[in-house]
Structure 1
Amino acid sequence: MTTNPNDPNQAPADAAAAGTVAGGAATPGEDTFISHLIELRDRIIRAGIAVIVVFVGLVYWAPDIFRLLARPLLQNLPAGGKMIVTDVTGSFFVPMKVTMMVAFVIALPIVLYQLWAFVAPGLYQHEKKLVVPLVGSSYFLFLCGMAFAYFVVFPTIFRVMVHYNAPLGAEMNTDIDNYLSFVLTMFLCFGVTFEVPIVVVLLVRMGFVQLKKLKEIRPYVVVGAFVVSAVVTPPDVVSQLILAVPLVILYEAGLIAARFFVPRVAANLPVV
């Protein structure tokens, strides 16, 4: 259609169209921000799909997975002891939660890769070289912490608890939902505990704290380890030692690792 610039009826429409174009145009900063949000959304969706796919593949064996998780307790219960369900839907949802947790742990490398793919373009080359081994070692150490909790901590704690209950004449029948909460807490505590060497190396590597200073505060770290273990573990000496001693050992391991993986100048070490 031919427009007449002298037609007063068409002037407002042309002005409105021009205003729409001017107002709808996104600035370069806004366009970049929106593109980052879209990419983040896509990365989150891909990570979520990976977890869901693994969960669907494991859901058939959900009861078996829960029995495997409950084995440290069941093996230490006295004769006649058993796990109970106090919630109507607990026997269904608790194994599902356990299976989802296992699926997340299995799919965690894919989740971490999606996170890495999102932040990698904004990193320098030397930062990229540091992030890859850092993420890999963090994942490995977290799994080691969970394995330590499952194979060492749980049998010891349950054995001690059964021993304390025997003189009272109390039956140890644990609700499966409460057991899951306890297990998840312990997994998280020991998984994070085993990340201590990574934290020590990062602190020295980034220059936040000198290696010499971390050595000087050893006594405070030991006291702090026992305080933390007293808060997060059951109130008995054995359980506290099981967390506090590895925490101190891992701190020392972090100091040793810092000597090898941190430049001598940054680590405040004499150059030979």
Structure 2
Amino acid sequence: MAKKFIQEKEMSFLDHVEILRWHLVRSTFAIMLLSIVAFVMKDFIFNTILFAPKDANFITYRFFCNVSKIFGTEGLCITDIPFTFQSLAMAEQFSVHIWTSITAGFIVAFPFVIWEFWRFISPGLYEKERKGAFIFIIISSFLFFIGVLFGYYLVTPLSVNFLGNYSVSNMVSRNITIGSYISLVRSSVLASGLIFELPIVMYFLTKMGLITPEFLKKYRKHALVVVLILAAIITPPDIISQIIVGIPIMFLYEVSILISTIVIKRERKKEQQNA
């Protein structure tokens, strides 16, 4: 094992590029394979999953309505989302089908993609750190899927409800292109999933010595501004939606500070033991 580690460390830049290429090839193959499965499951993905937030009986809308009734009002209850779907371009529906299938393939294949990523970076880690591969994949996948669910069950319904009901005039009919709707759902889900990887990103940045807990604490207020900007990008332009999305992101930021602190303490402890 030690000999293999030395050989991997002494590889040239082109050798690393070649290894990276094959990791990317395997990841792409897995995504494409699952995308084909998703392509075949068209009815389930579109009718059951993607178009569900358009229904006023969607679980998120019912939850907010029940919460509203607890306080003696029905202000958060939704009876209808008044817009219809349309397709204006000849290839629009086919294009939407293709990109939706690829997105679904990426989401389902994410654990494998993360595993390939780990296999690429693992030669540069200590033997003890390599043994944490399983934990790393589980935590990364868990955070990503939690983010995807957050985007689907919270960000998407808020966006669909707000934008679907927004109108500048009664003279404008609400006929939304299917590409526009699916793009909103897709971006909300993927953006949320990737944002929830923040603790993992902070872990590696700390390991690389690029950030410290002190740095994260010092720029906490700046991070809050960035979080609000991110929330504004992936949510409709109303303050309530931004706050709802911003809260878990700030929580992840605080978790990142904790993770960074633990990493720094471990690194210092190793340095003391090796001294």
Q: Provide the TM-score with structure 2 as the length reference.
A: 0.70
After superposition, the Cα gap between the structure-2 partners of 1:243 and 1:131, relative to the gap in structure 1 and judged at 3 Å, is same
After superposition, the Cα gap between the structure-2 partners of 1:108 and 1:81, relative to the gap in structure 1 and judged at 3 Å, is same
User: Partners of 2:197 and 2:15 in 1: how far apart?
Assistant: 34
> What amino acid is the match of 2:146?
C
The Cα shift of 1:65 comes to 0.6
Give per-residue Cα distances to partners, 1:91-119, cap 9 Å, x unaligned.
Answer: 22312321221122212323333343344
> What amino acid is the match of 1:148?
F
Q: Provide the TM-score with structure 1 as the length reference.
A: 0.71
After superposition, the Cα gap between the structure-2 partners of 1:214 and 1:150, relative to the gap in structure 1 and judged at 3 Å, is same
SS in 1 for 2:87: coil
After superposition, the Cα gap between the structure-2 partners of 1:79 and 1:42, relative to the gap in structure 1 and judged at 3 Å, is closer
Question: Counterpart of 1:183?
Answer: 185
Give per-residue Cα distances to partners, 1:122-175, cap 9 Å, x unaligned.
Answer: 543244245654444223212211110100111122222344339746433221
Match of 1:72 among 31, 41, 53: 53
After superposition, the Cα gap between the structure-2 partners of 1:193 and 1:37, relative to the gap in structure 1 and judged at 3 Å, is closer
Indicate yes or no: 2:27 matched with 1:47. Answer: yes
Match of 2:96 among 87, 94, 97: 94
> What amino acid is the match of 1:209?
I
Match of 2:201 among 190, 199, 202: 199
- Report the RMSD for the aligned CA atoms in angstroms: 3.3
User: Partners of 1:253 and 1:46 in 2: how far apart?
Assistant: 32
Which has the greater radius of gyration?
Answer: 1
Structure 1 residue ranges without an equivalent (≥5): 1-30, 268-272
User: When the two structures are aligned, how many residues end up with a matched partner?
Assistant: 237
Question: Counterpart of 1:233?
Answer: 235
Contact 1:197 1:251 in 2 (8 A): yes
Using the aligned pairs only, state the percent identity.
Answer: 28
Structure 2 residue ranges without an equivalent (≥5): 1-10, 57-77, 270-275
> What amino acid is the match of 1:47?
S
Contact 1:149 1:186 in 2 (8 A): yes
> What amino acid is the match of 1:108?
F
Contact 2:212 2:261 in 1 (8 A): no
Give per-residue Cα distances to partners, 1:34-63, cap 9 Å, x unaligned.
Answer: 766655554444333322332333322113
Match of 1:171 among 170, 173, 176: 173
